[in-house]
Each structure stands twice: as C-alpha cells, then as structure tokens.
Amino acid sequence: MLRSLVIVLAVLAGAKLFAQDRLYREGAEDALIRAYRERAMAACQSQALPGPSGPLWTRPASVDLAIGRSSADVHIWQLYNAQWPVRFKHPHVVLTLPGGEMAPVCEYDVIEGRAYVSRM
C-alpha cells in the first residue's frame, strides 16, 4: 500500500515537472517570436537571393524558433571555432516561404541581428 502511494506521488511529481517545463518553453518561444518577428521579416527582406526578384518575406508560411543556424559549417567538437556559438547557442527566428521543399528559408540571428537566406 505504501509502495504504491510513493510510486503515484513520484509519477505526479514527474508529470508536474514535465508540464512546467513545457509551459515555460512554449511561453519563451512565443515571446521570442513575437519580439523578433518584425525585425526578422525586415532583415530577410533586405537580403537578396540570386534571381530576378526577391521573395516577399512579409507573409511567410511558417515562423519558428531554432537554436543554432544549421548552415554554419562547424562541428560540435570544434569548441574553439569562432562560429561555434552561432551554430549551437544563438536563437534564430526561422521564416519559411510557401513552395515546398525548394522554398527559400531565412534564419534571423537574434544575437547578431543578421539574416541568412538559403534554399532548403
């Protein structure tokens, strides 16, 4: 009887910690996206892709938050590389345009205040 009570309390404590962590992460993600969405759109619009006309970044298909820029050429074991924080620490607002797999993607580095446009 006592063992089952301890197990139930441990499961409830684990569920509470999980719920609090999820709420914190979702709230922080929403706050960062709201704070930097307009800056990201303006920075992405100023970056030109090669071609006749640049894409319109004011109506992205999706806006997400990611930690690290996936296009930075750094491996996790290269701790002393100057680009390591850009790849593994900096928050990025990622704007994706409609158009499937070949749609352009813009990653706005919140720390640097700079946008990086690439194709998926």
What is the domain extent for residue 20? 2-119
Q: Which of 13-17, 25-29, 74-78, 104-108 has the highest mean pLDDT?
A: 13-17
CA dihedral (93, 98, 100, 102) in degrees, to 10, reads -70
Taking the whole predicted model, whether its pTM rises above 0.95 is answered as no
Which residues are 64's β-sheet partners?
Answer: 94
Give every strand in the sheet of 104-109, ordered side by side: 62-67, 91-96, 104-109, 114-119
pLDDT, tens only, 36-62 = 888 988 888 887 655 556 667 888 888
**Total number of domains constituting the chain:** 1
